[in-house]
Structure 1
Amino acid sequence: MSMSETPQLLVMKFGGTNMGDAAAIRHSASLAGRSLAAGVRVVVVVSAMAGVTNQLLSIADAAEKGDIALANDQIAALRTRHFTAAQELGAAPDSSVSREIRELLETLRQAVYGVYLLRELTPRSKDLIVAFGERLSAPLMTVALERWGHRAHHLTGGQAGIVTDSHFGSARPLPSAAGRIRDRLSGLLDAGVTPVISGFMGETEKGAVTTLGRGGTDFSATIVGAALHASEVWAWKDVDGVMSADPRSVPGAQNIAQLSYGEVMELAYFGAKVLHPLAVTPLQDAGIPLRVKSAADPDFPGTLVTGDAHTDGVHPVKAVTAIRNVSIINVSGAGILGVPDVVADLFAALARENITLLMVSQSSSMSNVSLVILGSDEERTLAALTPPMGGRQLQVDVQRGVAVLAIVGAGMRGTKGVSARLFGALAGDDINILMISQGSSELNISVAIEGQDVDRATRTVHGAFGLDAPVAAD
């Protein structure tokens, strides 16, 4: 079939910075409009306005602590911000969008008041409250698109067909979601209407609002992209694409032109804040490419993520990334020696608390196990490991103020000397390694180091693998 018989379909995701105020939303709408004007069908998925998700979390926290005055003040600030943006985008005070924003904020106020009365913030209540950010921003994008002359219609994640399990805070789509999404969106697209979907959120079979985890708007976009068999999913960001390191730590960091699904998942998991760690998973089976693009430079190709690793033979490592504020938990004691089921009990206890393990290491004598966790999970981890495991009392020690540094690249597979170059670079810069982990996939090597060394270590390793941008001659 020719392209004219099967119009190209793009799913475009806009993050919080690109939804920050009326000017940013207008610009984002113009980026979607460029493709619409070229005859491409577009589905838009939006994040909350910049900072709103954190504001909603603080509102929920204030209500739980009984400070309803603070919560109401912050809801009033949200009202002012969203009404100002709506007005600047051209929505009249008596328009349907203005009425909808007013009704959403009233529903939010009631939900927050319920938390205040109960002095209890359940994961379900928190998801309901925090999803209001995306519910409030989608109508603004609809107004902006209409002002550019495009017909648009906004939907919540649930209305768009994103049905999930009931793991509030980190919900996962159900297999039935794909069919629902096609049912809900195909009619709009066939009628020449651009769907605008509130990202980050879905709903259970019973209609309870869920969220997909921080950064979940990326995940929303790829779930929708896979369901609709999109040509590509474009994640618009305020950076040029996926970078070889955090530019704030490494001035010489540069854009990576191409990554595989596996590489980008490793980068996201190990601290690169470019994508949700699960964002590419819906796209893998269908082989749908994901493109990370710069809203400031829309003609720049950005980073293309596909199934092909594209190794050049020169750079086995494509990126260096780091997770800060982590802790090492060392579990030891006579009770662990030579008893395999102790390790199973450890992992089962952590799984019950939904604690993410960043690294795991066990000595060959089986006398101790070291676990690297996020510092924010430390209290829950220690509580989970306090009861005796199978009647055996274990010693649990904590090392705080740690960072995990990871090198990522499919080119490491089968390339000799990568580990030597990593450890040599760190040793040459007098950086102590606390723990080491490498998966058999050879997509990454991770090391735990002192948190105070992380910026220096990232710059050193980035340079050691030849990833620094060339310095222009005078």
Structure 2
Amino acid sequence: MSASLLVMKFGGTNMQDARAIRHSASLVGRSLKEGVRVVVVVSAMAGVTNQLLQLADAAQAGDIARANDEIAVMRTRHFTAAQELGAVPDSETVRELREMHETLRQAVYGVYLLRELTPRSRDLIVAFGERLSAPLMRLALEQQDIRAHHLTGGEAGILTDSHFGNAKPLPSAYERVRDRLSAVLSTGVTPVVAGFMGETEKGALTTLGRGGTDYSATIIGKALGADEVWAWKDVDGVMSADPRVVKDALNIELLSYGEVMELAYFGAKVLHPLAVTPLQESGIPLRLKNSSDPDFPGTLVQSHPRDDAGHPVKAVTAIRNVSLINVSGAGVLGIPEVLASVFDAIARENITLLMVSQSSSMSNVSLAVQSVDAERTLSALRAGVSSELKVDEQPGTAVLAIVGSGMRGQRGVSARMFTALADHDVNILMISQGSSELNVSVAIEGGHVDEATRAVHAAFGLGSAAQEAVGAAEPFSG
């Protein structure tokens, strides 16, 4: 029987400086010492992805001086980390970092000259964050006498479609990843893969969407048949609510794939929404762990949810900065082709819908979208649907969702949520519930989102005070 295999993903805070990278490398070393093979997948240093997006926008706007200043700041940060990790001035790591920063500078200058930032060039620029952190992780591993080799997502075999900015892996990607990384592992070398990216069949670099390093890790996990995928974070795992908003939020020990996808989709910044999809077919568990407390089990995500009738809701989560787009016109939406035209217009612009609601008279459809997508949504609908229809926006809203597999068939869950909101004078603008009964979501005024989150969290007894009152739940072992 072959040795156990883990895929370990390290997020931005776990890669933010030399100290954090050294600690992350030590977590890899712990498992290697136990005879477990590890594939490492790394994010960009904390803040670098946003920095890259901003400097690309600055170059497009003609502010090349600002873009170059940002590149210089990033260059200093990466070189400082390399030096603190033990790189000497003319070492392979330093040469690589120097070459990559020069390539980045040239790519940004091209955007400046053309005053055009295409999705393809944006992907090329934004992926430098992960490409620059991978050599630093390899260096940190080598400093701990661990043989390592770093690769881009494309070099690791992640083949994607050409949807720049939000690419999806092609079916053939899994075999390619298995072949390429198995070859590295078979020589006793630990692969370090730059997350968040892949490449098209023609070799163009693509990215998998924000948070896509999680996705990279689970694609690799499925391809290699890993025992588990571990996503190292700076929190204990998935919480019952945002702990910055709800002080007594608790760690959730066990979630199903479906539950964690709903949480990720509805704003819980724990995972890329599609991250668990590669694991579902093969049933590979995903574990979210805190790098500051590596012995804490964290949150385990697996096929089957825990049957917990006492707590039908696992978590409350919210998406801020939402706009409601209303499409109305007496009786017109009773015509199926018109309804189809609404969704066709949205699909052509690749806009993510957070919620959809239709009135029973079929004279009104309401769509919830991120506010940053509102202008595009309005333009797409006004161009793509009948002129008889009125399209308007209600900005300044938020979506609040409760998630839990225990809601299936249990009466009174929605009523408890609505009562908690009514008791705190929170007005509900729109309601949606999926037929899977994994979530109930409502649109509310944005200014009430924190108060609403706390009220609903308390109503379902999810906080530490409520848990203590009913006695601690038995820990999951598996």
Q: Which of 416, 419, 425 is the matching residue for 2:420?
A: 425
Query: Does 1:453 find its partner at 2:409?
Result: no
Deviation at 1:337, TM superposition (A): 4.6
1:406 is matched with 401
Question: Matched residue of 2:464: which SS?
Answer: coil
Q: Which amino acid is 1:241 matched to?
A: G
Question: Are 1:29 and 2:19 counterparts?
Answer: no
1:366 aligns with 2:362: yes
- Report 1:58-457 matches (<5 A): 58-334=54-330, 336-387=332-383, 389=385, 391-457=386-452
The 3-state SS of whatever aligns with 1:218 is helix
Range with bigger deviation, 68-77 or 149-158: 68-77
Q: Considering only aligned residues, what root-mean-square deviation do their CA atoms show, in Å?
A: 1.1
Tell me, what secondary structure is at the counterpart of 1:143? helix
Query: Deviation string for 1:33-73 (max 9, x for gaps)?
Result: 10011110000000000000011111111111111111111
Report the AA paired with residue 144 of structure 1.
Answer: A
Whole-angstrom distance in 1 between the partners of 2:388 and 2:43: 47
Deviation of 1:470 (Å):
2.7
Q: Structure 2: how far apart are the matches of 1:383 and 1:366?
A: 22
Distance 1:228 1:388 in 2: 44
Alpha-carbon shift at residue 388 of structure 1 (Å): 6.1
Question: Helix, strand or coil for the counterpart of 2:98?
Answer: helix
- Partner of residue 36, structure 2: 40
Aligned mates of 1:128, 1:273 — CA distance in 2: 24
- Report SS of the residue matched to 1:334: coil
Structure 2: distance between partners of 1:293 and 1:346: 42
Q: Deviations over 1:340-391 (max 9, x none)?
A: 22111000001000011111111111111111111000000010111362x4
Please give the per-residue CA displacement for 1:206-225, whole angstroms capped at 9, x wherever unaligned.
11000000000000000000
The whole-number CA distance in structure 2 between the counterparts of 1:62 and 1:26 is 33
Structure 2 length normalisation: TM-score? 0.97
Supply the distance in 2 between the matched residues of 1:158 and 1:187 (Cα, whole angstroms): 15
- Tell me if the contact between 2:240 and 2:314 (Cα under 8 Å) persists in the aligned partners: yes
Greater mean alpha carbon deviation, residues 184-193 or residues 273-282: 184-193
Structure 1 consecutive aligned stretches of length 4 or more whose deviation exceeds 6 Å? none
- In the alignment, is the contact (CA less than 8 A) between 1:72 and 1:109 conserved in 2? yes
Residue identity over aligned pairs, in percent, reads: 75
Q: Give the C-alpha shift of residue 188 in structure 1.
A: 1.2
Distance 1:374 1:60 in 2: 22
State the Cα distance separating 1:182 from its structure 2 match: 1.1
1:429 and 1:388 map into 2 onto residues whose CA distance is: 40
Aligned to 2:476: none
SS at structure 1 position matched to 2:150: strand
Q: Give 1:338 deviation, angstroms.
A: 2.4
In the TM superposition, residue 180 of structure 1 has moved relative to its aligned partner by 0.7
Displacement after TM superposition at 1:396 (Å): 1.3
Q: Is the 8 A contact 2:134 2:194 kept in 1?
A: yes
Residue 430 of structure 1, CA deviation? 1.3
SS of equivalent to 1:322 = strand
* Equivalent residue in structure 1 for 2:47, among 37, 45, 51: 51
- Tell me, yes or no, if the aligned pair for 1:335 and 1:392 is still in contact at 8 Å: no
Deviation at 1:392, TM superposition (A): 4.1
Q: Structure 2: how far apart are the matches of 1:57 and 1:264?
A: 28
Secondary structure in structure 1 of the residue aligned to 2:334: coil
> What is the match of residue 15 of structure 1?
11
Paired with 2:83 and 2:402, the residues of 1 have a C-alpha distance of: 47
Q: Give the residue type in structure 2 aligned to 1:37.
A: K
2-side partners of 1:388 and 1:319: how far apart?
38
Inter-partner Cα distance in structure 2 for 1:50 and 1:259: 27
Matched residues in 2 for 1:337 and 1:386: separation?
Answer: 15
Instruction: Give the superposition deviation at 1:328.
Output: 0.6
- What one-letter code is carried by the residue in structure 1 that aligns with 2:377? T
Shift of 1:138: 0.2
Question: In the alignment, is the contact (CA less than 8 A) between 2:333 and 2:339 conserved in 1?
Answer: no
Matched position secondary structure for 2:191? strand
Q: Where does the alignment leave 5 or more consecutive residues of structure 1 unmatched?
A: none
Please give the alpha-carbon distance, in whole angstroms, between the structure 2 residues aligned to 1:268 and 1:95.
Answer: 41
Residue type of the partner of 1:447?
A: V
Q: Residues 345 and 384 of structure 2 are in contact (CA less than 8 Å); yes or no, is this contact kept in structure 1? A: no
Paired with 2:118 and 2:387, the residues of 1 have a C-alpha distance of 34
Give me the whole-angstrom Cα distance separating, in 2, the residues matched to 1:397 and 1:77: 43
TM-score, normalization: structure 1?
0.97
Offset at 1:334?
A: 3.0
Shift of 1:187: 1.5
TM-fit CA distance, 1:335:
6.1
| Partner Cα distance (1:337, 1:277) in 2 | 31
The separation in 1 between residues aligned to 2:188 and 2:163, in whole angstroms, is 35
Checking the alignment, whether the CA contact within 8 Å between 1:462 and 1:468 is kept in structure 2 is: yes
Alignment partners' CA distance in 1, 2:287 and 2:383: 47
Matched positions, count: 468
Does the CA contact (< 8 Å) of 2:257 and 2:303 recur in 1?
A: yes
